[in-house]
Structure 1
Protein backbone atom coordinates (compact mmCIF):
# COMPACT_ATOMS: atom_id res chain seq x y z
CA UNK A 1 0.00 0.00 0.00
CA UNK A 2 2.70 2.51 0.98
CA UNK A 3 4.36 4.39 -1.89
CA UNK A 4 8.17 4.66 -2.13
CA UNK A 5 7.99 8.30 -0.98
CA UNK A 6 5.92 7.55 2.18
CA UNK A 7 5.31 11.28 2.41
CA UNK A 8 2.92 10.94 5.35
CA UNK A 9 4.47 7.99 7.21
CA UNK A 10 3.45 8.11 10.87
CA UNK A 11 0.92 10.91 10.39
CA UNK A 12 -2.72 10.61 11.43
CA UNK A 13 -5.22 12.14 9.02
CA UNK A 14 -8.97 12.70 9.42
CA UNK A 15 -10.99 13.15 6.22
CA UNK A 16 -14.65 14.18 6.35
CA UNK A 17 -17.10 13.01 3.72
CA UNK A 18 -14.62 10.29 2.81
CA UNK A 19 -17.03 7.51 1.86
CA UNK A 20 -17.19 8.47 -1.80
CA UNK A 21 -15.80 10.80 -4.45
CA UNK A 22 -13.06 13.23 -3.54
CA UNK A 23 -13.03 12.27 0.13
CA UNK A 24 -12.55 8.61 -0.66
CA UNK A 25 -9.77 9.44 -3.12
CA UNK A 26 -8.05 11.59 -0.47
CA UNK A 27 -8.32 8.88 2.19
CA UNK A 28 -6.84 6.23 -0.09
CA UNK A 29 -4.06 8.56 -1.24
CA UNK A 30 -3.07 9.44 2.33
CA UNK A 31 -3.03 5.78 3.28
CA UNK A 32 -0.84 5.02 0.25
CA UNK A 33 1.65 7.58 1.58
CA UNK A 34 1.81 5.85 4.96
CA UNK A 35 -0.79 7.78 6.97
CA UNK A 36 -3.25 6.28 9.42
CA UNK A 37 -6.67 7.54 8.36
CA UNK A 38 -9.92 8.36 10.15
CA UNK A 39 -12.60 7.97 7.47
CA UNK A 40 -15.65 10.07 8.28
CA UNK A 41 -18.93 9.71 6.41
CA UNK A 42 -22.51 10.05 7.56
CA UNK A 43 -23.83 7.94 4.68
CA UNK A 44 -26.36 10.35 3.16
CA UNK A 45 -27.71 10.97 -0.32
CA UNK A 46 -26.71 13.71 -2.73
CA UNK A 47 -29.15 16.14 -1.10
CA UNK A 48 -28.28 15.16 2.47
CA UNK A 49 -31.18 12.77 2.96
CA UNK A 50 -30.63 9.43 4.69
CA UNK A 51 -29.35 6.85 2.22
CA UNK A 52 -28.19 3.90 4.26
CA UNK A 53 -24.89 3.39 6.01
CA UNK A 54 -21.57 1.80 5.34
CA UNK A 55 -19.54 3.97 2.91
CA UNK A 56 -16.95 4.89 5.55
CA UNK A 57 -16.49 1.27 6.58
CA UNK A 58 -16.09 0.21 2.96
CA UNK A 59 -13.25 2.69 2.49
CA UNK A 60 -11.65 1.46 5.71
CA UNK A 61 -11.81 -2.08 4.33
CA UNK A 62 -10.17 -0.92 1.09
CA UNK A 63 -7.32 0.69 3.01
CA UNK A 64 -6.81 -2.32 5.27
CA UNK A 65 -6.93 -4.73 2.33
CA UNK A 66 -4.06 -2.80 0.79
CA UNK A 67 -2.03 -3.00 3.99
CA UNK A 68 -2.91 0.36 5.50
CA UNK A 69 -4.48 1.40 8.79
CA UNK A 70 -7.82 3.18 9.09
CA UNK A 71 -10.90 3.50 11.28
CA UNK A 72 -14.42 4.62 10.42
CA UNK A 73 -16.26 7.55 12.00
CA UNK A 74 -19.97 7.95 11.30
CA UNK A 75 -20.69 11.10 13.29
CA UNK A 76 -22.30 14.29 11.96
CA UNK A 77 -19.40 16.75 11.80
CA UNK A 78 -21.83 19.69 11.54
CA UNK A 79 -22.66 19.11 15.22
CA UNK A 80 -20.41 19.85 18.18
CA UNK A 81 -20.63 16.26 19.42
CA UNK A 82 -19.84 14.81 15.99
CA UNK A 83 -16.90 17.13 15.38
CA UNK A 84 -15.45 16.59 18.84
CA UNK A 85 -15.80 12.82 18.47
CA UNK A 86 -13.94 12.95 15.14
CA UNK A 87 -10.88 14.37 16.92
CA UNK A 88 -11.38 11.95 19.82
CA UNK A 89 -11.52 9.00 17.41
CA UNK A 90 -8.13 9.95 15.98
CA UNK A 91 -6.60 10.33 19.43
CA UNK A 92 -8.17 7.15 20.82
CA UNK A 93 -7.30 5.04 17.78
CA UNK A 94 -3.86 6.35 16.86
CA UNK A 95 -2.74 8.58 19.73
CA UNK A 96 -2.50 11.79 17.72
CA UNK A 97 -3.98 13.95 14.96
CA UNK A 98 -1.77 15.65 12.40
CA UNK A 99 -4.00 16.57 9.46
CA UNK A 100 -7.66 17.46 8.99
CA UNK A 101 -9.24 17.43 5.54
CA UNK A 102 -12.65 19.11 5.54
CA UNK A 103 -14.51 17.74 2.53
CA UNK A 104 -18.08 16.75 3.48
CA UNK A 105 -20.96 18.34 1.61
CA UNK A 106 -24.05 17.96 -0.56
CA UNK A 107 -26.16 19.99 -2.98
CA UNK A 108 -29.67 21.41 -3.08
CA UNK A 109 -29.59 23.47 -6.25
CA UNK A 110 -32.28 26.07 -6.99
CA UNK A 111 -32.33 29.54 -8.48
CA UNK A 112 -32.65 32.14 -5.73
CA UNK A 113 -36.37 32.81 -6.18
CA UNK A 114 -37.06 29.07 -5.90
CA UNK A 115 -34.63 28.37 -3.06
CA UNK A 116 -36.41 27.37 0.14
CA UNK A 117 -35.08 28.48 3.50
CA UNK A 118 -34.55 24.83 4.50
CA UNK A 119 -32.42 24.24 1.39
CA UNK A 120 -30.35 27.32 2.22
CA UNK A 121 -29.88 26.28 5.85
CA UNK A 122 -29.03 22.65 5.04
CA UNK A 123 -26.29 23.49 2.54
CA UNK A 124 -24.78 26.27 4.67
CA UNK A 125 -24.84 23.89 7.63
CA UNK A 126 -23.04 20.95 6.05
CA UNK A 127 -20.44 22.94 4.13
CA UNK A 128 -19.70 25.97 6.31
CA UNK A 129 -20.60 24.76 9.79
CA UNK A 130 -19.22 21.34 8.82
CA UNK A 131 -15.87 23.02 8.20
CA UNK A 132 -15.93 25.27 11.24
CA UNK A 133 -16.66 22.68 13.93
CA UNK A 134 -14.01 20.05 13.03
CA UNK A 135 -11.51 22.88 12.59
CA UNK A 136 -12.46 24.32 15.97
CA UNK A 137 -11.95 21.08 17.87
CA UNK A 138 -8.81 20.08 16.00
CA UNK A 139 -7.33 23.55 16.51
CA UNK A 140 -8.13 23.47 20.22
CA UNK A 141 -6.24 20.17 20.51
CA UNK A 142 -3.24 21.52 18.61
CA UNK A 143 -3.17 24.72 20.64
CA UNK A 144 -3.13 22.69 23.83
CA UNK A 145 -0.28 20.59 22.45
CA UNK A 146 1.71 23.70 21.54
CA UNK A 147 1.16 25.25 24.98
CA UNK A 148 2.40 22.00 26.54
CA UNK A 149 5.64 22.35 24.59
CA UNK A 150 4.74 19.84 21.87
CA UNK A 151 4.38 22.17 18.87
CA UNK A 152 2.72 20.13 16.10
CA UNK A 153 3.31 20.13 12.35
CA UNK A 154 -0.44 20.29 11.91
CA UNK A 155 -2.22 20.79 8.61
CA UNK A 156 -5.79 21.64 7.58
CA UNK A 157 -7.08 21.44 4.02
CA UNK A 158 -10.50 23.00 3.47
CA UNK A 159 -12.62 22.42 0.38
CA UNK A 160 -13.98 25.45 -1.43
CA UNK A 161 -15.08 25.51 -5.07
CA UNK A 162 -14.97 27.57 -8.22
CA UNK A 163 -18.57 28.37 -7.28
CA UNK A 164 -17.26 30.03 -4.12
CA UNK A 165 -14.66 32.03 -6.03
CA UNK A 166 -16.81 33.14 -8.99
CA UNK A 167 -20.41 32.21 -8.18
CA UNK A 168 -22.57 29.63 -9.96
CA UNK A 169 -26.06 30.12 -11.34
CA UNK A 170 -28.59 27.98 -9.47
CA UNK A 171 -26.21 27.49 -6.55
CA UNK A 172 -26.61 30.57 -4.37
CA UNK A 173 -26.53 28.51 -1.16
CA UNK A 174 -23.54 26.42 -2.26
CA UNK A 175 -21.62 29.43 -3.63
CA UNK A 176 -22.16 31.40 -0.43
CA UNK A 177 -21.00 28.47 1.72
CA UNK A 178 -17.91 27.86 -0.40
CA UNK A 179 -17.01 31.57 -0.37
CA UNK A 180 -17.37 31.52 3.41
CA UNK A 181 -14.93 28.61 3.58
CA UNK A 182 -12.27 30.78 1.91
CA UNK A 183 -12.77 33.47 4.55
CA UNK A 184 -12.64 30.87 7.32
CA UNK A 185 -9.40 29.49 5.86
CA UNK A 186 -7.71 32.90 5.89
CA UNK A 187 -8.73 33.61 9.49
CA UNK A 188 -7.70 30.17 10.74
CA UNK A 189 -4.31 30.42 9.03
CA UNK A 190 -3.68 33.79 10.67
CA UNK A 191 -4.86 32.70 14.12
CA UNK A 192 -3.31 29.25 14.34
CA UNK A 193 0.10 29.72 12.76
CA UNK A 194 1.69 30.44 16.15
CA UNK A 195 0.63 26.96 17.29
CA UNK A 196 2.23 25.09 14.37
CA UNK A 197 -0.98 24.82 12.31
CA UNK A 198 -1.07 25.56 8.57
CA UNK A 199 -4.45 26.03 6.91
CA UNK A 200 -5.06 26.05 3.15
CA UNK A 201 -8.02 25.53 0.83
CA UNK A 202 -8.56 23.85 -2.51
CA UNK A 203 -11.14 24.57 -5.19
CA UNK A 204 -11.30 21.22 -7.00
CA UNK A 205 -12.95 20.27 -10.26
CA UNK A 206 -13.61 16.54 -10.42
CA UNK A 207 -16.31 13.98 -11.10
CA UNK A 208 -18.23 13.15 -7.94
CA UNK A 209 -21.85 12.45 -7.13
CA UNK A 210 -22.37 16.21 -7.15
CA UNK A 211 -20.82 16.75 -10.59
CA UNK A 212 -21.27 13.52 -12.54
CA UNK A 213 -23.72 15.16 -14.96
CA UNK A 214 -21.35 18.08 -15.53
CA UNK A 215 -18.26 15.91 -15.92
CA UNK A 216 -19.28 12.61 -17.57
CA UNK A 217 -16.83 9.74 -17.44
CA UNK A 218 -14.13 9.72 -20.09
CA UNK A 219 -14.62 6.80 -22.45
CA UNK A 220 -11.69 5.07 -24.11
CA UNK A 221 -11.55 2.57 -26.95
CA UNK A 222 -10.32 -0.92 -25.99
CA UNK A 223 -6.57 -0.93 -25.51
CA UNK A 224 -6.26 2.87 -25.48
CA UNK A 225 -4.89 4.75 -22.50
CA UNK A 226 -6.81 7.96 -21.78
CA UNK A 227 -6.06 10.50 -19.05
CA UNK A 228 -9.36 11.08 -17.27
CA UNK A 229 -8.97 14.73 -16.35
CA UNK A 230 -12.08 14.71 -14.15
CA UNK A 231 -11.15 11.70 -11.99
CA UNK A 232 -11.17 12.72 -8.29
CA UNK A 233 -7.84 10.95 -7.82
CA UNK A 234 -6.18 13.78 -9.77
CA UNK A 235 -6.89 16.24 -6.95
CA UNK A 236 -5.61 14.08 -4.10
CA UNK A 237 -1.83 14.41 -4.67
CA UNK A 238 -2.02 18.14 -3.95
CA UNK A 239 -4.16 17.49 -0.87
CA UNK A 240 -1.70 14.87 0.41
CA UNK A 241 1.23 17.24 -0.05
CA UNK A 242 -0.62 20.05 1.72
CA UNK A 243 -1.40 17.58 4.53
CA UNK A 244 2.22 16.54 4.95
CA UNK A 245 5.15 18.07 6.82
CA UNK A 246 6.77 18.72 3.43
CA UNK A 247 4.61 21.82 2.80
CA UNK A 248 6.22 23.80 5.63
CA UNK A 249 5.60 27.53 5.21
CA UNK A 250 2.57 27.24 2.92
CA UNK A 251 -0.51 28.60 4.66
CA UNK A 252 -3.49 30.85 4.01
CA UNK A 253 -3.52 29.97 0.30
CA UNK A 254 -6.20 28.76 -2.09
CA UNK A 255 -5.42 26.37 -4.94
CA UNK A 256 -7.52 25.32 -7.91
CA UNK A 257 -6.93 21.70 -8.88
CA UNK A 258 -8.28 20.03 -12.00
CA UNK A 259 -6.83 17.15 -13.98
CA UNK A 260 -3.11 17.81 -14.30
CA UNK A 261 -3.41 21.53 -13.51
CA UNK A 262 -2.69 23.31 -10.22
CA UNK A 263 -3.32 27.06 -9.94
CA UNK A 264 -2.55 29.44 -7.09
CA UNK A 265 -5.63 31.65 -6.73
CA UNK A 266 -4.78 35.24 -5.85
CA UNK A 267 -8.14 36.46 -4.60
CA UNK A 268 -9.25 40.03 -4.12
CA UNK A 269 -6.51 42.62 -4.65
CA UNK A 270 -6.87 46.41 -4.88
CA UNK A 271 -7.38 47.59 -8.44
CA UNK A 272 -7.69 51.14 -9.86
CA UNK A 273 -8.32 53.66 -7.08
CA UNK A 274 -9.28 57.34 -6.86
CA UNK A 275 -9.05 59.43 -3.68
CA UNK A 276 -10.11 63.09 -3.73
CA UNK A 277 -9.40 63.61 -0.04
CA UNK A 278 -12.97 64.76 0.57
CA UNK A 279 -16.53 63.46 0.26
CA UNK A 280 -17.86 62.74 -3.22
CA UNK A 281 -21.30 63.79 -4.36
CA UNK A 282 -23.29 61.04 -6.09
CA UNK A 283 -22.74 62.32 -9.63
CA UNK A 284 -18.99 62.71 -9.10
CA UNK A 285 -18.80 59.25 -7.53
CA UNK A 286 -20.56 57.78 -10.56
CA UNK A 287 -18.24 59.53 -13.03
CA UNK A 288 -15.20 58.36 -11.09
CA UNK A 289 -16.42 54.78 -10.88
CA UNK A 290 -16.94 54.73 -14.64
CA UNK A 291 -13.32 55.86 -15.12
CA UNK A 292 -12.04 53.25 -12.66
CA UNK A 293 -14.01 50.46 -14.32
CA UNK A 294 -12.65 51.48 -17.73
CA UNK A 295 -9.13 51.13 -16.32
CA UNK A 296 -9.77 47.74 -14.70
CA UNK A 297 -9.90 44.26 -16.12
CA UNK A 298 -13.27 42.58 -16.74
CA UNK A 299 -14.51 40.17 -14.06
CA UNK A 300 -14.48 36.47 -14.83
CA UNK A 301 -17.95 35.21 -15.69
CA UNK A 302 -20.15 33.45 -13.16
CA UNK A 303 -20.47 29.71 -13.83
CA UNK A 304 -23.60 29.04 -15.85
CA UNK A 305 -23.52 32.35 -17.75
CA UNK A 306 -21.05 31.36 -20.46
Structure 2
Protein backbone atom coordinates (compact mmCIF):
# COMPACT_ATOMS: atom_id res chain seq x y z
CA UNK A 1 0.00 0.00 0.00
CA UNK A 2 1.38 3.38 -0.97
CA UNK A 3 1.87 6.15 1.56
CA UNK A 4 -0.90 8.75 1.59
CA UNK A 5 -0.13 12.18 0.10
CA UNK A 6 -0.57 13.75 3.55
CA UNK A 7 1.99 11.40 5.13
CA UNK A 8 4.38 11.92 2.21
CA UNK A 9 4.06 15.69 2.63
CA UNK A 10 4.74 15.28 6.36
CA UNK A 11 7.93 13.31 5.65
CA UNK A 12 9.12 15.92 3.15
CA UNK A 13 8.53 18.78 5.59
CA UNK A 14 10.17 16.76 8.38
CA UNK A 15 13.27 16.21 6.22
CA UNK A 16 13.47 19.91 5.38
CA UNK A 17 13.04 20.84 9.03
CA UNK A 18 15.85 18.50 10.11
CA UNK A 19 18.27 19.94 7.53
CA UNK A 20 17.26 23.53 8.29
CA UNK A 21 17.59 23.11 12.07
CA UNK A 22 20.96 21.40 11.63
CA UNK A 23 22.16 24.30 9.45
CA UNK A 24 20.62 27.35 11.15
CA UNK A 25 20.55 26.30 14.79
CA UNK A 26 23.64 24.06 15.08
CA UNK A 27 26.12 24.59 12.24
CA UNK A 28 26.11 28.40 12.03
CA UNK A 29 26.04 29.18 15.80
CA UNK A 30 28.95 26.80 16.39
CA UNK A 31 31.07 28.40 13.66
CA UNK A 32 30.97 25.36 11.41
CA UNK A 33 30.62 25.14 7.64
CA UNK A 34 29.08 22.63 5.27
CA UNK A 35 30.17 21.66 1.76
CA UNK A 36 27.82 21.25 -1.16
CA UNK A 37 25.29 23.83 -2.31
CA UNK A 38 25.05 25.17 1.26
CA UNK A 39 28.78 25.86 1.30
CA UNK A 40 28.65 27.62 -2.07
CA UNK A 41 25.71 29.73 -0.92
CA UNK A 42 27.40 30.77 2.33
CA UNK A 43 30.60 31.66 0.46
CA UNK A 44 28.68 33.86 -1.95
CA UNK A 45 26.84 35.45 0.99
CA UNK A 46 30.22 36.34 2.50
CA UNK A 47 30.98 38.59 -0.49
CA UNK A 48 27.48 39.83 -1.43
CA UNK A 49 25.62 40.07 1.88
CA UNK A 50 22.61 38.31 0.34
CA UNK A 51 20.96 35.78 2.65
CA UNK A 52 22.49 32.41 1.84
CA UNK A 53 19.04 30.74 1.79
CA UNK A 54 18.00 32.96 -1.13
CA UNK A 55 21.24 32.14 -2.95
CA UNK A 56 20.52 28.45 -2.28
CA UNK A 57 17.08 28.97 -3.81
CA UNK A 58 18.55 30.44 -7.00
CA UNK A 59 21.12 27.65 -7.35
CA UNK A 60 18.57 24.86 -6.87
CA UNK A 61 16.21 26.41 -9.42
CA UNK A 62 19.11 26.54 -11.89
CA UNK A 63 19.92 22.89 -11.17
CA UNK A 64 16.25 22.00 -11.65
CA UNK A 65 16.18 23.63 -15.11
CA UNK A 66 19.44 21.97 -16.18
CA UNK A 67 18.20 18.62 -14.83
CA UNK A 68 15.05 18.87 -16.95
CA UNK A 69 17.11 19.69 -20.07
CA UNK A 70 19.74 16.96 -19.56
CA UNK A 71 18.23 14.14 -17.48
CA UNK A 72 14.61 14.53 -18.50
CA UNK A 73 11.22 15.05 -16.91
CA UNK A 74 11.40 12.06 -14.56
CA UNK A 75 14.55 13.18 -12.72
CA UNK A 76 13.32 16.77 -12.64
CA UNK A 77 10.00 15.69 -11.11
CA UNK A 78 11.87 13.96 -8.27
CA UNK A 79 13.60 17.19 -7.21
CA UNK A 80 11.09 19.93 -8.04
CA UNK A 81 9.16 19.75 -4.75
CA UNK A 82 12.22 19.94 -2.49
CA UNK A 83 13.89 22.48 -4.80
CA UNK A 84 11.05 24.82 -3.84
CA UNK A 85 10.22 23.64 -0.32
CA UNK A 86 13.64 23.28 1.32
CA UNK A 87 15.05 26.75 0.53
CA UNK A 88 11.81 28.27 1.82
CA UNK A 89 12.03 26.36 5.12
CA UNK A 90 15.75 27.17 5.34
CA UNK A 91 15.04 30.87 4.81
CA UNK A 92 12.18 31.02 7.35
CA UNK A 93 14.17 29.26 10.09
CA UNK A 94 17.13 31.57 9.49
CA UNK A 95 15.01 34.36 11.08
CA UNK A 96 14.19 32.32 14.21
CA UNK A 97 16.86 33.10 16.78
CA UNK A 98 17.64 29.68 18.22
CA UNK A 99 21.25 28.73 18.91
CA UNK A 100 22.22 25.23 20.04
CA UNK A 101 25.83 25.77 21.08
CA UNK A 102 28.07 22.96 22.32
CA UNK A 103 31.26 23.41 24.34
CA UNK A 104 33.08 20.91 22.13
CA UNK A 105 33.07 21.50 18.38
CA UNK A 106 33.34 17.80 17.68
CA UNK A 107 30.07 17.22 19.54
CA UNK A 108 28.47 20.03 17.55
CA UNK A 109 29.85 18.48 14.37
CA UNK A 110 28.39 15.09 15.26
CA UNK A 111 24.98 16.55 16.12
CA UNK A 112 24.93 18.53 12.87
CA UNK A 113 26.05 15.56 10.76
CA UNK A 114 23.52 13.10 12.18
CA UNK A 115 20.56 15.51 12.01
CA UNK A 116 21.47 16.76 8.54
CA UNK A 117 21.93 13.21 7.26
CA UNK A 118 18.55 12.15 8.65
CA UNK A 119 16.98 15.18 6.97
CA UNK A 120 18.44 14.20 3.60
CA UNK A 121 17.74 10.50 4.02
CA UNK A 122 14.01 10.74 4.85
CA UNK A 123 12.93 12.25 1.49
CA UNK A 124 15.51 10.20 -0.42
CA UNK A 125 14.06 6.99 0.97
CA UNK A 126 10.59 7.78 -0.43
CA UNK A 127 11.90 8.75 -3.86
CA UNK A 128 12.60 12.48 -3.60
CA UNK A 129 15.86 14.43 -3.87
CA UNK A 130 16.96 17.91 -2.84
CA UNK A 131 18.51 18.52 -6.27
CA UNK A 132 21.88 19.39 -4.78
CA UNK A 133 25.42 18.46 -5.68
CA UNK A 134 24.47 14.79 -6.15
CA UNK A 135 22.17 15.87 -8.99
CA UNK A 136 24.98 17.94 -10.50
CA UNK A 137 27.16 14.83 -10.42
CA UNK A 138 24.42 12.91 -12.28
CA UNK A 139 24.30 15.64 -14.92
CA UNK A 140 28.08 15.57 -15.36
CA UNK A 141 28.08 11.78 -15.67
CA UNK A 142 25.41 11.78 -18.36
CA UNK A 143 26.87 14.66 -20.39
CA UNK A 144 30.67 14.92 -20.27
CA UNK A 145 31.99 12.27 -17.82
CA UNK A 146 30.11 9.16 -18.94
CA UNK A 147 33.03 6.77 -18.43
CA UNK A 148 33.74 7.99 -14.88
CA UNK A 149 32.29 6.31 -11.80
CA UNK A 150 29.54 8.34 -10.17
CA UNK A 151 31.09 8.52 -6.71
CA UNK A 152 34.40 9.74 -8.15
CA UNK A 153 32.59 12.59 -9.91
CA UNK A 154 30.77 13.41 -6.70
CA UNK A 155 33.90 13.49 -4.53
CA UNK A 156 35.82 15.53 -7.12
CA UNK A 157 32.93 17.98 -7.21
CA UNK A 158 33.01 18.24 -3.41
CA UNK A 159 36.76 18.89 -3.50
CA UNK A 160 36.21 21.78 -5.92
CA UNK A 161 33.50 23.21 -3.67
CA UNK A 162 35.81 23.03 -0.63
CA UNK A 163 38.50 24.79 -2.67
CA UNK A 164 36.01 27.55 -3.54
CA UNK A 165 35.04 27.85 0.13
CA UNK A 166 38.63 28.75 1.07
CA UNK A 167 37.72 32.25 -0.13
CA UNK A 168 35.45 32.73 2.89
CA UNK A 169 36.31 30.08 5.49
CA UNK A 170 39.41 29.11 7.45
CA UNK A 171 41.18 25.81 6.97
CA UNK A 172 39.92 24.64 10.36
CA UNK A 173 36.33 25.29 9.29
CA UNK A 174 36.89 23.44 6.02
CA UNK A 175 38.41 20.48 7.87
CA UNK A 176 35.33 20.35 10.10
CA UNK A 177 33.13 20.67 6.99
CA UNK A 178 34.83 17.64 5.43
CA UNK A 179 34.44 15.60 8.62
CA UNK A 180 30.82 16.70 8.90
CA UNK A 181 30.18 15.49 5.39
CA UNK A 182 31.50 12.03 6.24
CA UNK A 183 29.12 11.90 9.21
CA UNK A 184 26.03 13.10 7.37
CA UNK A 185 26.61 10.86 4.33
CA UNK A 186 26.82 7.79 6.60
CA UNK A 187 23.79 9.00 8.56
CA UNK A 188 21.88 9.48 5.31
CA UNK A 189 22.83 6.03 4.03
CA UNK A 190 21.70 4.46 7.30
CA UNK A 191 18.26 6.05 6.95
CA UNK A 192 17.98 5.10 3.28
CA UNK A 193 19.27 1.53 3.41
CA UNK A 194 19.08 0.29 7.01
CA UNK A 195 16.36 2.13 8.89
CA UNK A 196 13.49 0.63 6.93
CA UNK A 197 12.01 -2.83 7.32
CA UNK A 198 14.44 -5.75 7.49
CA UNK A 199 14.02 -7.88 4.39
CA UNK A 200 14.43 -11.64 4.03
CA UNK A 201 14.62 -14.05 1.13
CA UNK A 202 12.33 -16.91 2.18
CA UNK A 203 12.96 -20.07 0.14
CA UNK A 204 10.48 -22.95 0.50
CA UNK A 205 10.73 -26.44 -0.99
CA UNK A 206 7.91 -28.99 -0.89
CA UNK A 207 5.23 -30.78 -2.87
CA UNK A 208 1.81 -29.23 -2.34
CA UNK A 209 2.63 -25.52 -2.40
CA UNK A 210 -0.50 -24.00 -3.98
CA UNK A 211 -1.96 -22.73 -0.70
CA UNK A 212 1.35 -21.20 0.33
CA UNK A 213 1.60 -19.50 -3.06
CA UNK A 214 -1.92 -18.11 -2.65
CA UNK A 215 -1.10 -16.82 0.86
CA UNK A 216 2.04 -15.03 -0.32
CA UNK A 217 0.33 -13.36 -3.28
CA UNK A 218 -3.13 -12.57 -1.91
CA UNK A 219 -2.58 -12.16 1.86
CA UNK A 220 0.84 -10.59 2.40
CA UNK A 221 0.81 -9.20 -1.16
CA UNK A 222 4.29 -10.20 -2.23
CA UNK A 223 5.45 -11.69 -5.50
CA UNK A 224 6.77 -15.24 -5.57
CA UNK A 225 9.17 -17.04 -7.91
CA UNK A 226 8.38 -20.71 -8.56
CA UNK A 227 10.74 -23.45 -9.77
CA UNK A 228 9.00 -26.68 -10.81
CA UNK A 229 12.06 -28.78 -11.59
CA UNK A 230 13.59 -29.08 -8.11
CA UNK A 231 14.57 -32.58 -6.99
CA UNK A 232 15.13 -33.75 -3.41
CA UNK A 233 18.71 -34.96 -3.12
CA UNK A 234 17.92 -37.46 -0.37
CA UNK A 235 14.55 -38.77 -1.59
CA UNK A 236 15.07 -38.26 -5.32
CA UNK A 237 11.47 -37.08 -5.56
CA UNK A 238 10.33 -34.06 -7.62
CA UNK A 239 9.76 -30.91 -5.58
CA UNK A 240 8.48 -27.38 -6.08
CA UNK A 241 10.73 -24.55 -4.92
CA UNK A 242 9.32 -21.10 -4.18
CA UNK A 243 11.13 -17.92 -3.23
CA UNK A 244 9.77 -14.58 -2.02
CA UNK A 245 11.22 -11.44 -0.46
CA UNK A 246 9.29 -10.06 2.51
CA UNK A 247 9.83 -7.93 5.59
CA UNK A 248 10.10 -9.32 9.11
CA UNK A 249 6.40 -8.90 9.94
CA UNK A 250 5.32 -10.64 6.73
CA UNK A 251 7.85 -13.42 7.31
CA UNK A 252 6.38 -14.13 10.76
CA UNK A 253 2.88 -14.30 9.26
CA UNK A 254 4.10 -16.65 6.52
CA UNK A 255 5.89 -18.87 9.03
CA UNK A 256 2.78 -19.06 11.23
CA UNK A 257 0.62 -19.91 8.21
CA UNK A 258 2.94 -22.77 7.22
CA UNK A 259 3.10 -24.06 10.80
CA UNK A 260 -0.65 -23.89 11.43
CA UNK A 261 -1.35 -25.56 8.08
CA UNK A 262 1.11 -28.38 8.87
CA UNK A 263 2.66 -28.06 5.42
CA UNK A 264 5.52 -30.46 4.82
CA UNK A 265 8.18 -28.21 3.38
CA UNK A 266 11.78 -27.17 3.86
CA UNK A 267 12.27 -23.45 4.61
CA UNK A 268 15.44 -21.41 4.32
CA UNK A 269 15.50 -17.74 5.44
CA UNK A 270 18.29 -15.41 4.28
CA UNK A 271 18.65 -11.82 5.55
CA UNK A 272 19.14 -9.31 2.73
CA UNK A 273 21.14 -6.07 2.56
CA UNK A 274 19.59 -4.28 -0.45
CA UNK A 275 16.59 -5.20 -2.59
CA UNK A 276 15.65 -3.22 -5.70
CA UNK A 277 12.20 -3.39 -7.23
CA UNK A 278 8.75 -1.81 -7.44
CA UNK A 279 7.39 -2.90 -4.05
CA UNK A 280 7.06 -0.22 -1.36
CA UNK A 281 9.72 -1.96 0.78
CA UNK A 282 12.27 -2.08 -2.04
CA UNK A 283 14.68 0.52 -3.44
CA UNK A 284 14.60 1.77 -7.01
CA UNK A 285 17.26 0.41 -9.34
CA UNK A 286 18.08 3.88 -10.68
CA UNK A 287 18.88 5.33 -7.25
CA UNK A 288 22.44 6.62 -7.02
CA UNK A 289 24.01 5.55 -3.74
CA UNK A 290 26.95 7.66 -2.60
CA UNK A 291 28.06 5.60 0.39
The answer to whether TM tops 0.5 is no
Give the structure-1-normalised TM-score.
0.25
Structure with bigger helix share is 2
Higher RCO (CA 8 Å, separation ≥ 6 residues): 2
